[in-house]
Amino acid sequence: MINKVKVQTSASPIPIIRDELYVLGGTVEHEGFISWVPADADGSEPLNAYVFVDGDHGLVIDTSLPVMGETIVTQLKTLGLKRLTIVMTRPPEFDSIGNAETLVRNFEVDRVYSELMFPADEWVQFRSDEELPKFEPGVYRKNTDVDFVEGRTFNVIDARLKLLACAWLFDEKTGTLFTSDAFTHVLSREPGEQTVTEAFDVTRQEDVTRHLGTKYEWLKGSYTEPLRKFLKEVFSTYDVQTIAPITGCAIIGRELVAGHVAMMDEALQQLAEQESQA
């Protein structure tokens, strides 16, 4: 969990593909206080949401933790957005739903999508008893293709590498794989950075293994072959050009993606060979 953080944000969101896809939110200095980040790791932790832009309408993928609420509202308005559709990849976790209520109260939200077992109208509101503006609760099923908005189809993947209930989403048009709470290991070198490209990536194998072993500590000494097989299937099936996690830097570029997938695979093997701490 997050107990105490210093926040760095900007009124302008960071483009992944300018005029089409942006990362929202900002970074926090973890200073050993964020439970899923190795205490002595260098860098700041990005807390992300994402938005596809089409005129004054935005398709928001996750809404980040509440600490980013005001920033995300400002960033969406900076993009000229008035109407939103929201998709939550890991309801009912706060890194996914944390600002859904805030967005519903600040924009015209037509629909909020959630997994079948967690209806959006039961999970969006948790901050205020004041009546919430109406929206349609949408439902998605894993291992299906879903048009969350007209003209943009997402492959909804039943995520195997995860903490709790979540889905990965792949957008073929941009080659973006939204990995929810996985591939979260790239910290920002400077406060405010939320993306990494090959030219600036300094991630080492030990960084990936330590991060994965901190966040998914039960993997130590576990049989990880099914997870390694899952990763291979996903990244051989889809032409992933960007990995977009809820926390950690978005990883941009085919070659960089391939490198991080290889490090994740190696981390799963290394953790399996470690002694369990249970």
What is the distance in angstroms between the CA of the first residue and the CA of the last residue of the chain?
A: 20
Q: At which residue do the structure tokens 């939200």 appear?
A: 109
Cβ atoms of 265 and 235 within 8 Å: the answer is no
Q: What is the mean pLDDT of residues 54-80?
A: 97
pLDDT confidence band for 4 (50 / 70 / 90): low
Query: By three-state DSSP, how is residue 204 classified?
Result: coil
Q: What percent of the chain has pLDDT over 70?
A: 97
- Supply the angle between the helices 205-215 and 254-273 in degrees, to the nearest 10: 60
Cβ atoms of 154 and 171 within 8 Å: the answer is yes
Q: What is the mean pLDDT of residues 177-203?
A: 95
Q: Is the pLDDT of residue 32 over 80?
A: no
- What would the pLDDT profile of 112-133 be if each residue is shown by its tens digit? 999 988 888 888 888 888 899 9
Q: Is the pLDDT of residue 1 over 50?
A: no
pLDDT confidence band for 258 (50 / 70 / 90): very high
Q: Domain 6-273 - what CATH class?
A: alpha beta
pLDDT at 122: 87
- What would the pLDDT profile of 228-240 be if each residue is shown by its tens digit? 999 999 999 999 9
Q: In 3D, which of 169, 173, 175, 165 has the Cα closest to residue 156?
A: 169
- Cβ burial of 137 (10 Å; 0-12, 13-18, 19+) is middle
pLDDT at 61: 98
Cβ atoms of 37 and 44 within 8 Å: the answer is no
Q: Which residue has the higher pLDDT, 41 or 269?
A: 269
pLDDT confidence band for 165 (50 / 70 / 90): confident
Q: In 3D, which of 96, 256, 100 has the Cα closest to residue 162?
A: 96
Q: Is the pLDDT of residue 34 over 70?
A: yes
Q: What is the mean pLDDT of the chain?
A: 93
Residue 24 corresponds to which tokens in the numbers above?
């929202």
